[in-house]
Amino acid sequence: MKTTYRLLALALLVSGACSFDITNPNTPPLLGANPTREQVQEAVSGLLLGARADYADWALEAGIVGREAYRFDASDPRWIDELLTGPLDPGNIRFGGDHWFEQYRNIRTGHNILKVIGTATALTAQEQDAVRGFVKTVQALDFIAVLDAHGQDSIPIAVSGDPVKDPPAPFETNTVAWAYVSALLDTAENLLRTGGSAFPFQLTSGFGGFSTPATFAKFNRALKSRVEVYRGSMLLFGCGVDGTTCFGRALTILEDPDSSFLSTTAPLSRGVYHVYGTGSGDLANPLFQDTATSIQLVHPSIFTDAESSSAIPRQIDRRFATKVARTAPPRSGGDPPLASDLVWIRYLSPIDPVPIIRNEELILLRAEARLGTGNLSGALDDVNVVRQTSGGLDPIALATWTALTPDEQLNRVLKERRYSLLFEGGHRWIDARRTNRLAQIPIDRPPDPAANFPGDVVHKTWPIPTDEVLARKPLP
């Protein structure tokens, strides 16, 4: 059949003449072997992006759970119903199932860099170590974020395997996980120390003063001191009696100016920040809202609990006055209704950076570690530096301080942390949980059987996302 031949010829012509191998025009392939310096820069910027991805959202949600903030958003009642009344729904990647994936995604991005960095011929061995030290520090930061949210659970650690072929990483208890993070930070520090004098990449302005391997190591140590104080306060295994071993480790860093950037004379704002932007592909700071229409409000207890100075006229805590403003009429939301006439001025524009860790926190971490190791006067010094410098408040007299029980002293430290670190990362809730003080967090709406309202709660932990649990169950 002539026809058939013609058609065959046609088919051959068509198939031979044009390529069916179409590459992806929208996104770059995964970072491959022997990355160039430019690709290393892209990967490092990616890690910073990834670490930032969930941070502001976390600060807001943990801020709500810790009764620092409200969000009156009628189109999504979960901001109140799920976060204040509960239960947290682990089945949705938003709210209950959140603060997990973005962190692990960034840890994966980090593993992908670690996998290929040794093949990068454009980098010296020192530079490769610097990259490794940087990546591992950011991975530790991401693990800290997962642990902060998932305080009573165990979490997967060994997540560098093939995402599809390998079985999911086993869950490790929180004790093991915190020890792992602590060790990871040490590994990272060692790599940074051997990493030469300069990174083979640029960091953001949020790392101003911390952008060489040596100075970045101070950021690493700051995280390490936080980890050790947390471990000590949770009395985790390995922290010794009353957590003193861990507190001691933190103090070793915080009292050594070579390892820590803690300074009672430097600006309290000195530290490392997530930066935000409004350029193409960038992320604006969602914690900022225009005060005239803002729906993210301040919890009224922030005002009622704020102290004032004794000087006449009495001045309210400067940390309150610079972060919170009044609005009228009050805004409300929820059912039963909640209200607040306080709006946030903590962030003044959509490009205001959000602190990751800064000097003021280090001083208060040292206060807590000193308290934990019995250095009461040293702890008081730190508390008073912050009260006076940051809050404009009266110092606490030594006699008053020593008259307090250890629990009350810790309460004082935590209260300073509450006002110093307000709306910066859910610190109040994290602190209350790790020091077993969740009962101190106020509950606005008690049960109301008449209205069939079960009453608000203070969540103890974010649940493990359903998909994480299901993946480890045998198929039906």
Partner 1 sequence: MRTRSCLVSVALALSFGAASANAQQRQITGRVTSATTGDAVVGASVAVVGTAIVAATGNDGRFTVAAPEGDVTLVVRRIGFKRKSVSVPAAQSSVDVALELDVFNLEAVVVTGLATGIEQRNVANAVSTVGAEQLTRAPTPTIESALQGKIPGALVQMNSGAPGGGGQITLRGVSTIIGSVDPLIVLDGIVISNLAINNNANAITESRVGGNPSPQDNPVNRIADLNPADIDRIEVLKGASAAAIYGSKASNGVVIITTQRGRIGAPRFHLTQRLGTYALAHKLGFRNWRDSTEAVTGIWADSALIGQLCPASSGCPFFDHEKELFGRHDLSEETFASLTGGTEQTTYYVSGLVKDEAGIAINTGYQKQALRLNMDQRVSDRISAALGANLIHSLARRGLSNNDNTNVSPYIALAFTPTFFDLRSSGGAFPKNVFNSGSSNPLQTLTLMDNTEDVWRYLGTANVAWNAVTTSRNRLRFNAIGASDFFQQRNDFYSPPELWFEPLDGLPGTVVLGKSENRNLNLSGNAVFTHSPEGEAYRATTSAGVQFEERKLNVLLLTGRGLLAGQRNIDLAASQTSEQTIEHTRDLGAYAQEELLLLNERLLLTVGARADRSSNNGDPDKFFFYPKAAASYRLVQPISGVDELKLRAAWGQTGNLPLFGAKFTTDTTSTIEGRVGRIVSKVVGDPNIKPERQTEIEAGFDATLANGRATLNVTAFQKNVKDLLLERTLPPSVGFETQIFNAGRLRNRGIEIGAGWTPIQTAQASLILRGTFFANRTKITELPVPTFQTLGFGTALGTFQIEQGKSATQIVGSVGKDGAGNAIEGVVGDANPDFQVSFSSDIQYRQWSLGMLWDWKQGGDIINLTTFLFDAGRNAVDFVPDGQARRTAFRTNGLTRTYVQDGSYLKLREVTLAYELPEAATRRLFGSKIQRARVSVSGRNLLRFTGYLGADPEVSNFGDQQIGRNIDVAAFPPWRSVFFSIDLDF
Under rule CB under 8 A, residue 114 binds partner 1:
no
The reply to whether 271 sits near partner 1 by the rule CB under 8 A is: no
- When asked if residue 470 is in the footprint of partner 1 (CB under 8 A), the reply is yes
Q: What's the min distance (Å) between Cβ of 460 and partner 1? A: 13
Site string for partner 1, 197-216 (x = CB under 8 A): -----x-xx-----------
Write the DSSP string, 150-193. -TTS-EE----S-TTTSPPPPEE-HHHHHHHHHHHHHHHHHHHH
Q: Are 41 and 201 in contact (CB under 8 A)?
A: yes
The rounded distance, in Å, linking the Cα atoms of 37 and 14 is 42
For Cα atoms 135, 140, 142, give the angle at the middle one, nearest 5 degrees: 95
Tell which residue, 465, 466, 414, has the closest CA to residue 146: 465
The correct pick among 58, 282, 366, 395 for binding partner 1 (CB under 8 A) is: 282
Q: Candidates 152-160, 184-192, 233-241, 410-418: pick the segment binding partner 1 (CB under 8 A).
A: 152-160
Q: Which of 169, 345, 376, 443 is close enough to bind partner 1 by CB under 8 A?
A: 169
Residues 91-110 that bind partner 1 (CB under 8 A): 91-95, 100-101, 104-109
Q: Least distance to partner 1 from the beta carbon of 24, Å?
A: 4
Helix (H, G, I), strand (E, B) or coil at 331: strand
Binding residue (CB under 8 A) for partner 1 from 121, 280, 310, 405: 280
* β-strands 171-172, 354-358 pairing: unpaired
19 binds partner 1 (CB under 8 A): yes
- Using the contact rule CB under 8 A, the part of the chain among 212-220, 228-236, 259-267, 270-278 near partner 1 is 270-278
258 binds partner 1 (CB under 8 A): no
Cβ nearer to partner 1, comparing 100 with 261 = 100
At CA 266, angle to CA 262 and CA 267, rounded to 5? 105
Q: For the purposes of burial, counting CB atoms within 10 Å of the CB of 257, is it exposed (0-12), middle (13-18) or buried (19 or more)? A: exposed
Nearest-approach distance from CB 238 to partner 1, in angstroms: 24
Stretch that binds partner 1, among 45-53, 132-140, 178-186, 312-320 (CB under 8 A): 45-53
Q: Binding to partner 1 by residue 275, rule CB under 8 A?
A: yes
> Please, how many CA atoms are within 13 Å of residue 297, restricted to the half-sphere of its CB?
26
Q: Does 446 bind partner 1 (CB under 8 A)?
A: no
CB 438 within 8 A of CB 458: yes
Q: Which is nearer to partner 1, 163 or 313 (CB)?
A: 163
Q: What residues between 176 and 195 interact with partner 1 by CB under 8 A?
A: none
Residues linked to residue 84 through DSSP beta bridges, in sequence order: none
End-to-end CA distance of the chain: 55
* In the complex, minimum distance from the CB of residue 89 to partner 1, in angstroms, rounded to a whole number: 6
Helix axes 427-434, 213-233, angle to 10 degrees: 50
**Of 122, 125, 266, 471, which one interacts with partner 1 (CB under 8 A)?**
471
What are the φ/ψ torsions at residue 354 (nearest 5 degrees)? Answer: -115, 130
Element (H, E) at 46: helix 37-53
| Eight-class DSSP state of 243 | G
Inter-axis angle of helices 174-193 and 213-233, to 10 degrees?
Answer: 160
- Region binding partner 1 by CB under 8 A among candidate stretches 66-74, 126-134, 239-247, 313-321: 66-74
- Among positions 302-361, residues that touch partner 1 (CB under 8 A) are 329-333, 335, 337, 339, 349-350
4 scored as a contact of partner 1 (CB under 8 A): yes
Of 100 and 216, nearer to partner 1 (C-beta) is 100
Query: In angstroms, what is the minimal distance from the CB of 207 to partner 1?
Result: 10
Choose one: 114-122, 243-251, 361-369, 452-460; the region binding partner 1 (CB under 8 A). Answer: 452-460
Of the pair 257, 454, the CB lying nearest partner 1 is at 454
Residue 447 in the binding site for partner 1 (CB under 8 A): no
Least CB distance to partner 1 at residue 128 (A): 18
Alpha-carbon span 162 to 381, nearest angstrom:
50
Preceding peptide of 313 cis, ω within 30°: yes
CA angle 351, 356, 359 (to 5 degrees): 110
95 or 210: whose CB is closer to partner 1?
A: 95
Residue 374 binds partner 1 (CB under 8 A): no
Find the shortest distance in angstroms from Cβ 466 to partner 1: 9
Comparing CA positions, the residue from 146, 70, 90 lying closest to residue 456 is 70
**Across-strand partners of 316?**
308
- Is 11 an interacting residue with respect to partner 1 (CB under 8 A)? yes
Q: Which stretch binds partner 1 (CB under 8 A): 4-12, 215-223, 311-319, 355-363?
A: 4-12
Give CA separation, 392 vs 6, 312, 343, in Å: 91, 13, 21
